[in-house]
Structure 1
């Protein structure tokens, strides 16, 4: 935040308080008063006054013996509320609309629910492809592009739990029902950064999936659906390149 910007805002002390909390958040170990003062370029007396107010509000807490400062547990409640009210559509849809216009293909947005991918939105292309799935409906994770790219984000424990709860059923002649083969595929997906559903979920439909995930959480996934007859390597390479840019922009907005 620049000085020109902050001059137009009411409550300079609030901005200083945020600077202090940002430093506490980013510090590798809980900082002392002096360390905070040195970093945020404020006098120790000013920092101490702000810290006392933040401590009173529950935004920071102090270890009395070590005289170090931590963020307060009140933020856990705020984080939970943000999580409850967060809607990935608000960030993703404008960018996915761009991707639909760039590629001319149908774009799908989904989230994880009960070991399935629930379709949140479907942005139809001018050259629309018929999809069996409907908004609000579910798709198997093991057979869909959005599902597989999501599974690729799981650690071994979570992946084992998933496979223990589901039955790998053939939906098309191309559906992979071997757990070992799927696990190998998930390793490849993790390495290349996207997944492919080559008529595994629905005949004559080819999908490319990308996760929407940060280091701490998987928010969902999106995919590009293409009729199999329109698929060629040049087209796929261009779509993957554009989709990776959109993926980064969505994640940056979370």
Structure 2
């Protein structure tokens, strides 16, 4: 049993940095494990949410449960546990969908989401990898990265095909700087067509960006004016979650 656990960890470790995922055959080759063993491990990991499979391409990717475990605990409390009450309050206050996302190498993933109760609403796919270089969430998460990693993210532009209206590298750098100065990021009809988003950082005890908390909604309803009105409620929510993780969220300065 212990040997099987070691093999499963080996499969997860091999799969984690692969933004585009991998097939069972590719993972068997990369890990050096027999194809039958690799497939059996993947089947078990999929059933527990540790990995997810794209049924169109048959490729496997790291799942949301593995990401949650990887985030670990802070004073015995998980990020999602602390964030969810604030997310529900934000959804109720704004009427829009609230998401919690983290960086995974040069991509990002939603760990949790509280959807709008409106008939027309934005919904992400939990556990799916999204581009780190695009969108309000991405800019907030990138704001905590060292310069060399930011350069690698922008030059690689992973998953560009998944962005409806991508900004240029220069535009992205400009928006990233604005996000750093303001303490929040906005995106208009960018990562997903006809969806606007507002995001702010959640910080840990080191002052690093642990996650991005965001509010997203249809562009026709979540207008720039309503986004500005949501800045303070979002800032307050991030401050609460950050403080419970031992960090302090900076105050947002309207731009």
**TM-score bracket relative to the smaller structure:** 0.5 to 0.7
Q: TM-score, normalised to structure 1's length?
A: 0.61
Distance of aligned partners of 1:167 and 1:124 in 2 relative to their CA distance in 1, 3 Å threshold: closer
Alignment-derived partner of residue 203 in structure 1: 193
Rg (Cα) greater in structure = 1
**Could you tell me how far 1:112 is from its partner in structure 2?**
1.3
Alignment of 1:155-174 (within 5 A): 155-167=146-158, 169=160, 171=162, 174=165
Alignment of 1:185-196 (within 5 A): 185-196=175-186
Alignment-derived partner of residue 182 in structure 1: 172
Alignment-derived partner of residue 230 in structure 1: 221
Q: TM-score, normalised to structure 2's length?
A: 0.61
**Could you tell me how far 1:132 is from its partner in structure 2?**
6.1
Check conservation: 1:150, 1:220, Cα contact below 8 A.
Answer: yes
Deviations 1:49-106 (A, max 9, x none): xxxxxxxxxxxxxxxxxxxxxxxxxxxxxxx975697631011111111111111111
- Pairing partner for 1:124 from 94, 115, 118: 115
**Could you tell me how far 1:203 is from its partner in structure 2?**
0.8
Distance of aligned partners of 1:224 and 1:191 in 2 relative to their CA distance in 1, 3 Å threshold: same
Alignment-derived partner of residue 101 in structure 2: 110
The CA RMSD measured in Å over matched residues stands at 2.5
Distance of aligned partners of 1:199 and 1:96 in 2 relative to their CA distance in 1, 3 Å threshold: same
| Aligned-partner SS, 1:202 | coil
Matched, 1:248 2:239: yes
Alignment-derived partner of residue 22 in structure 2: none
Question: How many equivalent residue pairs?
Answer: 174
Check conservation: 2:166, 2:191, Cα contact below 8 A.
Answer: yes
**Could you tell me how far 1:155 is from its partner in structure 2?**
2.6
| Distance (Å, rounded) in 1 between the aligned partners of 2:207 and 2:199 | 20
Unaligned runs of 5+ in 1: 1-79
| Distance (Å, rounded) in 2 between the aligned partners of 1:235 and 1:221 | 19
Unaligned runs of 5+ in 2: 1-70, 246-255
| Distance (Å, rounded) in 2 between the aligned partners of 1:233 and 1:81 | 36
Alignment of 1:215-226 (within 5 A): 215-226=206-217
| Distance (Å, rounded) in 1 between the aligned partners of 2:166 and 2:107 | 16
Alignment of 1:68-79 (within 5 A): none
Check conservation: 1:133, 1:139, Cα contact below 8 A.
Answer: no
- Pairing partner for 1:134 from 125, 132, 136: 125
| Distance (Å, rounded) in 2 between the aligned partners of 1:102 and 1:212 | 19
**Could you tell me how far 1:115 is from its partner in structure 2?**
1.4
